[in-house]
């Protein structure tokens, strides 16, 4: 009895060290159902609501529910997360003298009166006259998210919720949505788990991404964190606290972080991933844990009719389809026949402790593994790692023949004992739990040893038999839980979705670590002299892909490229995954999440139910267990929803899901970030404008596949190609869906109303050059454009005033045939919020065109040209122009702006990436436009820089070959104004503007044709000349004089200095741009130096003086005067000037002035326009084309009703009356410039207005009144 008492004390000690890698939420962080939030994933064709406690879809009036490909087409009822932990509570209980039945007693640990579990009594005790017992009570803790499946059996006494609830702080508390990557307004000000992830420029939180700080690898990523801290199961029964002495959290100390990932790539548009990271944040190790997920199907949105399901164990996926294509809900969008749903169990928890290669991947490493591990013997035997043929029995779940691993000990036999230790991981500055092995030999007489806290008696002829699923090493060979079915005679059931047939398939036995052999090979331990077999040393030196784990800072499979994007928690292969270990099937609404015993029974490892052929609307539960979860340890499971139009389609989509998972949830993505779209409406038109940030996107997925360095400009990586504009009248963009695939199925490619693409060598349809691409694309060609050149504004005049339209702008890439990657474009995200508003992605707008208020005026007009600023009485150097367009007059204020340019010669930047900048780089000395800025000079004493630097003119110059004189930068849109800058950055001779000037009445000289070329080796008649050409953007004046002398030039020919002497001539050369004289010379072996009628070539030295060593190395142009032989010849004479003009880009200091003026209302004009106020439609005949469709989830009802008052003056009040004069409703114009006021045909009491004749009275202060009538006709 004393031994038992001591054992109780030892087992009850908590682990008090720092917890391991994984999410850390401060203990004081609030939690509870009061912080429940929802949001919707709609980043591709899958549309689903989800809650931040873990449930996907289902209940509480939240839609859509696992819908595809539009919001009304439902496939899933609910998707839930379940976690189970088994723990043994050992206590001493003294019987109560008042209870003669000895069924209750006082627990010595905390003094609580408890009921004594009779089947948990280990021993009895006596303390004087008192009697008592030692107990070891095994208890399951099962927790889950809130669900309709909770029926309060065994849990939730008194109606309290015991389960997973969300943490506060992981969403913006000023709104009601879960944080999502594409919606920065949903992010918190600070992330509780990453409080330092702050953008230094904005001071706001950066995205808390799966791949790290500010990284968005999916097109839509959601993130939230939940806890079991409200689940008091163990506290009520045993007084258990996961943080001893701290009652701020109950439960088992679980922290569950969840991410949803969606990719908009055409190939991945029918899938969504859910990733669950579950951390044991308590101070205790848990030896026996399972993760599970309960799925309720709702194929067609009609639970009564439901669907039928098929389970493919070989791929861990369940397919469901409708019993009949007619069994769909009333609001089902019939353009999309009901298809198939698949729920794929992808990633499972790992078990880095058992010594077994659970996932069979021991070969998959780039490291030099020194050993080939042994494999379990399919024939059995008598060795320490063989199953015993004499232990044949029948498994009650599967009905299969099974055997057990049994050892009969002999004196001198080796045994392995296991103990838990904590190890510090320097990389993460934390500790992890490890299982350390130690070798002993069986003594000549019985001896008690302890392994993993359990006492074993060893000695000659003692029999040790492994007990599967108890997470112990019962036969003391160092391997935990050898299982004949899971590890040796491995069989899976394959289901062929095409033939609807199942067949069994055998898998090879798994490999394991032979600890007994290691102990014999390293008798002093590993590392040598340690006396132990250290699991970290074994893993990193012998078997990197057996018992691999994701928290040790070690790259097990050797695929890390320095970015740490493929290390530990970010690498799906660095976990010794145990896989899907159970599948339970039940009828509709089975699996009560509040029934602990049912959850445990449904997830018992090895249970794989067969689905009866006649069961309709079945639900099912996935399970993965058992495995230890040490204090601070995080394990993961993930599930993917995958959809398809038919069997072939869903099988193809399943393969895409697997490919994304195998690539660590990476896939080719469209350009990022998504374009930010804005719109301005007016009568009969909608103007769209967006930014250009996505044009510089580099696809990291492709870069890594190609092995290219970060920041590369390789066009396969920097693969932006263009923009498409989509238009629709509903948020699903359904009326833009016009494309079907090669099998006639809807394929969700939208028809654009406009497309703009780079003017390059990419155009036409994307070539489907391989069978794989053809199959994946289903024969759908993607149009890459027709080299139109880029634009970032578009005006749509094909609109009906008063009707709501949805517009989306998507950026797309060019795809890659060699890599088998189809082009990708940004997702279109739009949905109603149920309160009359729309939740829109940044690249989507919902607008209603219509007239502005009466008297509306825009002083700036639609477009205009900016005035150049003369500085020192000189105009700008550049020849271009700057124009403005008033994209959104409502945003314009009365301000004065200066637009100022800077060139490459003095901007302090290495513009071309060659390692040299400004004066060090001949190419940058050419003074090509580098950037511009916009300065608000309304108050000259306090100028305010609005745009600090736009670099697009230089960095993207090759993107505008067709329109070399036009570029539009994203940040040229400011305060509702678009700047369009005509600026040719290719410096070249302008023959049209060049020519002779002669004073007096005589005609100009005609004896020469003039050309200009860059200085080249021929100027020096040697290829060894050392020089650089500078494309000098200046105009020159060559004046005929009586006598002059050219400059002497010294240049290097290799290491030798050569000279070109000064020569007499009859002209001088001046720089017209700078008003400075120019050093010029004649090329080597020039014979003519006088401009008369002979061939003359004039070479220009760039520098006004030679280098300190007396040489020149920078030269610009050779101006060639070639005789024409025209008659009669008019020769140049003294005083004649030839002006050499160049096409010049804007240079540093060039400025333009913009006077912006706000819109205004002219009251006189408003009075004149008062008679144009009208009601549309009039009469209203039952419905109107201005009305929207029923919102998602609503199957019946009238839906929206609306009429519109147009041309309404500002601040007007409209009062509506019945024909009898009864007051119905008052409407107000909201003081904006929009001249449209809508009425939802409801009275002031919220009732539907009756059909009949109505009158209205409009009162506009300062303008006048107007009356009218309209009819509502049934």
* CATH code, domain carrying 1247: 2.60.40.1930
d(CA 1157, CA 977): 11
Determine the pLDDT at residue 966: 34
For 1274, other C-beta atoms within 10 Å of its C-beta total 8
Instruction: For residue 924, report the phi and psi dihedrals to the nearest 5 degrees.
Output: -80, -25
Q: Are residues 972 and 1006 in the same domain?
A: no
Least confident of 172-181, 277-286, 676-685, 834-843: 834-843
Higher pLDDT: 648 or 809? It is 809
Residues 1119 and 1012 in one domain: yes
Task: Report residue 39's pLDDT band, with 50, 70 and 90 as the boundaries.
Answer: very high
For the four alpha carbons of 440, 442, 447 and 452, in that order, the dihedral sign comes to positive
Q: What integer pLDDT is reported at residue 303 of this predicted model?
A: 64
The DSSP secondary-structure symbol of 896 reads E
**Contact between 950 and 1167 (Cβ < 8 Å):** no
Tokens of residue 1191, six digits: 């919102």
Q: What is the pLDDT of residue 320?
A: 92
* For range 905-928, the mean pLDDT: 80
> What is the pLDDT, as a whole number, of residue 13?
31
Terminal alpha carbon distance of the chain: 89
* DSSP letter string, 344-365: EEEE--B-SSSSB-TTS-TT--
pLDDT band with cut points at 50, 70 and 90 for residue 360: confident
- Surface-to-core class of residue 10, CB atoms within 10 Å of its CB (0-12 exposed, 13-18 middle, 19+ buried): exposed
Beta carbons of 92 and 5 less than 8 angstroms apart? yes
Same domain, 697 and 809: yes
Q: What is the rounded CA–CA span in Å between residue 689 and residue 889?
A: 13
Distance between CA atoms of 278 and 83, rounded to whole angstroms? 9
Q: How many CA atoms lie within 13 A of 833 on its CB side?
A: 12
User: What is the pLDDT confidence band of residue 570, given thresholds at 50, 70 and 90?
Assistant: low
Given a cut of 50, whether residue 954 has pLDDT beyond it is: no
**Which of 62-71, 955-964, 1080-1089 is the least confident region?**
955-964
Q: Identify whether 913 is part of a domain.
A: yes
Nearest to 5 by CA among 154, 126, 155, 153: 126
User: How is residue 655 written in tokens?
Assistant: 């393969």
Q: Is the dihedral of CA 469, 471, 472, 473 positive or negative?
A: positive
**Is there a single domain that holds both residue 479 and residue 422?**
yes
* 757 has a pLDDT exceeding 90: yes
User: Average pLDDT, whole number, for the chain?
Assistant: 87
User: What mean pLDDT comes out for the span 132-153?
Assistant: 84
Please give the Cα distance from 506 to 189 (Å, whole number).
53
Q: Would you list the DSSP string of 436-473?
A: EEEEEE--SS-EEEEETTEEEEE-TT-EEE--TTSSS-
pLDDT exceeds cutoff 60 at 789: yes
Residues 383 and 377: beta-carbon distance below 8 Å: yes
Cβ atoms 292, 674 nearer than 8 A: no
Residue 153 has pLDDT above 60, yes or no: no
pLDDT digits (tens, 9 = 90+) for 1143-1174: 999 999 899 999 999 988 898 999 988 999 99
pLDDT of residue 373: 93
Query: What distance in Å separates the CA atoms of residue 154 and residue 151, rounded to the nearest whole number?
Result: 9
pLDDT at 1 (0 to 100): 31
Domain range for 760 is: 670-847
Alpha-carbon distance 1068 to 1063, whole Å?
Answer: 12
Tens digit of each residue's pLDDT (9 = 90 or more) over 28-38: 999 999 999 99
What span, in angstroms and rounded, lies between the C-alpha atoms of 494 and 1009?
83
Of 777 and 275, the one with more pLDDT: 275
Q: Which two tokens stand for residue 363?
A: 């070969």
Cα–Cα distance between 933 and 1151 in angstroms, integer? 10
Query: Looking at the structure, do residues 885 and 958 belong to the same domain, yes or no?
Result: yes
Q: Report the pLDDT averaged over residues 163-175.
A: 96
Give the whole-angstrom CA distance, residue 784 versus residue 766. Answer: 6
Confidence band for 965, pLDDT divided at 50, 70 and 90? very low
Instruction: Inform me whether the pLDDT recorded for 916 exceeds 90.
Output: no
301 and 437 in a single domain? The answer is: no
Closest CA to 543 of 454, 478, 640: 478
Distance CA 1231, CA 301 (A): 44
Same domain, 803 and 724: yes
- pLDDT at 687 exceeding the cut of 80: yes
Residue 837 in this model has a pLDDT that exceeds 80: no
Q: Where are the beta strands (DSSP E) in 875-941?
A: 881-886, 895-903, 929-936
Model confidence at 10, pLDDT cuts 50, 70, 90, reads very low
Judgement on whether residues 729 and 812 belong to the same structural domain of the protein: yes
What is the domain count for the chain? 6
Q: Flag whether pLDDT at 1106 surpasses 70.
A: no
Please report the pLDDT score of residue 969 as a whole number: 40
* Per-residue confidence (pLDDT) for residue 5, from 0 to 100: 30
pLDDT at residue 902 greater than cutoff 70 = yes
Q: Is residue 657 part of a domain?
A: no
Q: Does 540 share its domain with 418?
A: yes
Residue 260: pLDDT band with limits 50, 70, 90: very high
pLDDT of 959 reads 28
For residue 860, CA distances in Å to 681, 689, 836, 851, 889 come to 17, 18, 35, 18, 9
What pLDDT shows up at residue 738? Answer: 67
Containing 420, the helix (H) or strand (E) segment is strand 414-425
Contacts of 159 by beta carbon, 8 Å cutoff, 6+ apart = 152
Residue 597 belongs to some domain of the structure? no
Which pLDDT tens digit goes with each residue over 695-744? 989 888 888 788 888 888 898 999 999 999 999 988 888 777 766 666 66
Helices (H), 867-1001: 952-955
In degrees and rounded to multiples of 5, residue 661 shows phi and psi of -65, -45
3-class secondary-structure state, position 340: strand
**Tokens encoding 791:** 């634009």
Distances (CA, A) of 386 to 358, 487, 742, 1131: 17, 11, 54, 109
Please name every residue paired with 436 in a beta bridge, in sequence order, or none if there are none.
419
Query: How far, in Å, CA of 1169 to CA of 317, rounded?
Result: 66
> Is the model's pLDDT at 962 over the cut of 70?
no
Query: Is 420 exposed, middle or buried (CB count within 10 Å of its CB: 0-12, 13-18, 19+)?
Result: middle
How far is the C-alpha of 137 from the C-alpha of 140, rounded, in Å?
10
Give yes or no for a contact between 212 and 203, defined as CB atoms under 8 angstroms apart: no
CB 577 within 8 A of CB 348: yes
Structure tokens at 230: 């409200």
Alpha carbon 921 to its chain centroid, in Å, reads 39
**Domain boundary residue among 570, 590, 624?**
570
**What's the confidence (pLDDT) of residue 307?**
78
Q: At residue 2, what are phi and psi to the nearest 5 degrees?
A: -65, -40
| Structure-derived torsion over alpha carbons of residues 973, 975, 978, 984, reported in degrees to the nearest 10 | -60
Q: Please determine, for residue 955, whether its predicted confidence score (pLDDT) is greater than 50.
A: no
Strand blocks (E) in 1102-1148 = 1114-1123, 1137-1140, 1142-1143
Please report, rounded to a whole number, the percentage of residues in the chain having pLDDT higher than 90: 51
β 1174-1176/1203-1206 pair status: antiparallel
Question: Is the preceding omega at residue 574 within 30 degrees of 0, hence cis?
Answer: no
Query: What is the C-alpha separation between 814 and 1107, in angstroms, rounded?
Result: 48
On whether residue 907 sits in a domain, the answer given is yes
Domain annotation covers residue 1246: yes
208-209 and 286-297 strand pairing: unpaired
Read off the DSSP letter of residue 1036.
E
The pLDDT confidence band at residue 961, using thresholds 50, 70 and 90, is very low
The pLDDT score that the predictor gives to residue 894 is 93
Kindly state whether residues 484 and 437 are assigned to the same domain: yes
Looking at the structure, tell me whether residues 1085 and 938 fall in a common domain: no
CB 1258 within 8 A of CB 1267: yes
Q: Which two tokens stand for residue 34?
A: 């009061």
Is the domain of 873 the same as that of 980? yes
Q: Is the pLDDT of residue 1196 over 60?
A: no
What is the Cα–Cα distance from 351 to 359, expressed in whole angstroms? 10
Q: Taking the CB of residue 16, how many other CB atoms lie within 10 A of it?
A: 10
What is the reported pLDDT for 711?
A: 80
830 pLDDT tier (thresholds 50, 70, 90): confident
Residue 2 in any domain: the answer is no
Highest mean pLDDT among 119-123, 702-706, 748-752, 1040-1044: 1040-1044
Q: What is the pTM of this model?
A: 0.78
Residue 726 lies in a domain: yes
In the block, tokens 């009756």 appear at 1250
Could you tell me which residue, 413 or 426, shows the higher pLDDT?
413
CA 250, CA 274: separation in Å to the nearest integer? 26
Other Cβ atoms less than 10 A from the Cβ of 959: the count is 18
- Residue where a domain terminates, one of 553, 570, 587: 570
Which has the minimum average pLDDT: 69-78, 911-920, 1092-1101? 911-920
In a domain, residue 647? The reply is no
- Cα–Cα distance measured from residue 844 to residue 860, given in angstroms and rounded to the nearest whole number: 28
pLDDT > 70: percent of the chain: 91
3-state DSSP helix/strand/coil percent for the chain, to nearest 5? 10, 35, 55
pLDDT at 1021: 86
């Amino acid at each position: 009895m004393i031994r038992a008492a001591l054992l109780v004390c030892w087992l009850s000690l908590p682990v008090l060290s720092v917890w391991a890698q994984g999410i850390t939420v401060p203990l004081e962080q609030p939690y509870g159902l009061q912080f429940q939030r929802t949001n919707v994933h709609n980043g591709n064709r899958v549309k689903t609501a989800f809650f931040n406690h873990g449930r996907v879809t289902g209940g509480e009036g939240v839609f859509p529910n696992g819908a595809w490909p539009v919001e009304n087409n439902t496939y899933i009822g609910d998707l839930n997360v379940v976690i189970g932990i088994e723990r043994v509570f050992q206590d001493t209980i003294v019987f109560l003298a008042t209870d003669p039945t000895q069924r209750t007693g006082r627990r010595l640990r905390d003094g609580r009166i408890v009921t004594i579990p009779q089947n948990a009594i280990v021993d009895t005790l006596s303390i004087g006259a008192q009697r008592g017992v030692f107990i070891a009570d095994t208890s399951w803790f099962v927790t889950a998210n809130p669900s309709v499946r909770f029926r309060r059996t065994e849990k939730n006494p008194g109606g309290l919720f015991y389960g997973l609830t969300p943490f506060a702080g992981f969403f913006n508390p000023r709104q009601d949505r879960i944080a999502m990557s594409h919606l920065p307004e949903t992010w918190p000000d600070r992330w509780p788990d990453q409080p330092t992830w702050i953008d230094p420029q904005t001071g706001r939180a950066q995205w808390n991404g799966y791949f790290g700080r500010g990284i968005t690898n999916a097109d839509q990523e959601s993130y939230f964190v939940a806890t079991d801290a409200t689940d008091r199961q163990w506290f009520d029964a045993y007084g258990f606290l996961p943080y001893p002495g701290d009652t701020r959290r109950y439960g088992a100390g679980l922290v569950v972080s969840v991410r949803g990932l969606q990719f908009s790539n055409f190939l991945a548009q029918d899938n969504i991933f859910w990733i669950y990271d579950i951390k044991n944040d308590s101070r205790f190790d848990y030896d026996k844990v399972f993760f599970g997920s309960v799925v309720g199907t709702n194929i067609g949105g009609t639970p009564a009719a439901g669907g039928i399901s098929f389970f493919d164990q070989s791929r861990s996926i369940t397919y469901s389809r409708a019993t009949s294509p007619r069994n769909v809900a009333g609001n089902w969008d019939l353009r999309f026949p009901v298809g198939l749903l698949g729920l794929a169990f992808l990633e499972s928890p790992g078990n880095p402790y058992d010594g077994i290669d659970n996932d069979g991947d021991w070969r998959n490493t780039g490291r030099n593994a020194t050993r080939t591990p042994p494999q379990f013997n399919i024939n059995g035997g008598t060795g320490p790692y063989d199953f015993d043929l004499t232990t044949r029995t029948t498994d009650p779940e599967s009905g299969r023949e099974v055997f057990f691993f049994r050892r009969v000990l002999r004196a001198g036999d080796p045994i392995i004992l296991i103990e838990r230790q904590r190890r510090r991981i320097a990389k993460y500055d934390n500790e992890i739990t490890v299982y350390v092995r130690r070798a002993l030999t069986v003594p000549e007489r019985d001896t008690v040893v302890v392994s993993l806290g359990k006492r074993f008696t060893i000695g000659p002829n003692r029999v040790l038999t492994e007990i599967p699923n108890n997470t112990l090493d019962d036969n003391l060979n160092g391997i935990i839980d050898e299982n004949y079915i899971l590890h040796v005679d491995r069989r899976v059931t394959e289901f062929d979705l095409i033939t609807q047939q199942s067949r069994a398939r055998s898998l090879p036995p798994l490999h394991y670590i032979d600890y007994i052999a290691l102990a014999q090979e390293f008798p002093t331990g590993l590392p040598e002299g340690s006396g132990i077999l250290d699991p970290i040393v074994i893993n990193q030196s012998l078997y990197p892909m057996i018992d691999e784990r994701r928290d040790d800072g070690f790259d097990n499979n050797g695929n890390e490229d320095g970015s740490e994007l493929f290390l530990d928690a970010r690498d799906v292969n660095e976990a010794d995954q145990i896989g899907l270990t159970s599948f339970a099937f039940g009828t509709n609404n089975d699996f009560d999440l509040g029934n602990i015993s049912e959850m445990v029974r449904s997830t018992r490892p090895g249970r794989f139910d067969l689905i009866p052929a006649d069961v309709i609307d079945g639900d099912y539960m996935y399970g993965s267990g058992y495995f230890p979860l040490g204090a601070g340890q995080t394990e993961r499971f993930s599930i993917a929803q995958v959809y398809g139009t038919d069997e072939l389609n869903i099988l193809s989509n399943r393969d895409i899901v697997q490919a994304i998972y195998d690539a660590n949830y990476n896939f080719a993505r469209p350009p990022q970030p998504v374009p930010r779209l804005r719109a301005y409406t007016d009568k009969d038109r909608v103007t769209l404008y967006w930014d250009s940030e996505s044009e510089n996107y580099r696809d990291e997925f492709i870069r890594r596949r190609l092995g290219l360095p970060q920041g590369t400009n390789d066009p396969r990586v920097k693969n932006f190609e263009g923009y498409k504009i989509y238009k629709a009248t509903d948020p699903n963009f359904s009326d833009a869906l016009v494309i079907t695939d090669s099998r006639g199925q809807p394929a969700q490619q939208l028809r654009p109303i406009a497309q703009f693409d780079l003017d390059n060598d990419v155009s036409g349809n994307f070539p489907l050059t391989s069978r794989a691409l053809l199959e994946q694309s289903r024969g759908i060609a993607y149009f890459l454009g027709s080299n139109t050149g880029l634009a970032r504004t578009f005006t749509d005049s094909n609109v009906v005033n008063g009707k709501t339209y949805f517009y989306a702008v998507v950026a797309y890439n060019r795809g890659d045939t060699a890599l088998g990657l189809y082009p990708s474009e940004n997702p279109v995200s739009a949905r109603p919020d149920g309160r009359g508003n729309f939740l829109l992605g940044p690249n989507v707008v919902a607008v209603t065109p219509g007239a502005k208020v009466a008297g509306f005026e825009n002083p700036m007009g639609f477009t205009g040209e900016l005035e150049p600023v003369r500085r020192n009485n000189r105009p700008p150097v550049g020849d271009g122009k700057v124009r403005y367009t008033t994209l959104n007059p409502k945003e314009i204020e009365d301000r004065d702006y200066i637009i100022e340019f800077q060139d490459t010669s003095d901007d302090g930047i290495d513009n071309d990436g060659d390692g040299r900048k400004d004066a060090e780089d001949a190419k940058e000395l050419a003074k090509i436009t580098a950037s511009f800025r916009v300065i608000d000079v309304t108050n000259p004493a306090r100028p305010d820089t609005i745009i600090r630097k736009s670099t697009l003119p230089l960095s993207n110059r090759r993107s505008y070959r067709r329109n070399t004189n036009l570029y539009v930068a994203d940040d040229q849109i400011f305060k509702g104004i678009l700047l369009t800058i005509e600026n040719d950055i290719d410096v070249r001779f302008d023959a049209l503007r060049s020519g002779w000037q002669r004073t007096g009445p005589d005609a100009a000289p005609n004896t020469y044709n003039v050309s200009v070329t860059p200085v080249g080796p021929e100027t020096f008649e040697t290829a060894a000349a050392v020089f650089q050409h500078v494309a000098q953007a200046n105009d020159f004046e060559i004046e005929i004089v009586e006598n002059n002398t050219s400059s002497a030039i010294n240049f290097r020919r290799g290491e030798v200095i050569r000279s070109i002497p000064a020569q007499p001539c009859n002209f001088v050369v001046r720089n017209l741009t700078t008003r400075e004289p120019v050093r010029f010379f004649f090329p080597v072996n020039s014979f003519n130096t006088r401009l008369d009628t002979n061939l003359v070539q004039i070479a220009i030295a760039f520098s006004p003086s030679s280098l300190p060593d007396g040489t020149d190395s920078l030269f610009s142009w050779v101006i060639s005067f070639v005789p024409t032989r025209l008659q009669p010849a008019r020769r140049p004479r003294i005083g004649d000037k030839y002006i050499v003009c160049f096409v010049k880009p804007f240079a540093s200091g060039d400025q333009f002035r913009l006077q912006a003026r706000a819109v205004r209302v002219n009251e006189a004009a408003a009075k004149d326009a008062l008679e144009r106020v009208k009601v549309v439609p009039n009469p209203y005949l039952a419905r109107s084309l201005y009305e929207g469709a029923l919102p998602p989830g609503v199957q019946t009802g009238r839906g929206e009703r609306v009429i519109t008052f147009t041309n309404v003056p500002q601040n007007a009040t409209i009062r509506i009356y019945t024909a009898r004069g009864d007051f119905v409703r008052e409407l107000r114009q909201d003081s904006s410039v929009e001249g449209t006021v809508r009425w939802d045909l409801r009275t002031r009491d919220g009732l539907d207005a009756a059909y009949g004749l109505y009158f209205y009275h409009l009162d506009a202060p300062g303008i006048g009144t107007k009356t009218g009538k309209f009819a509502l006709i049934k």
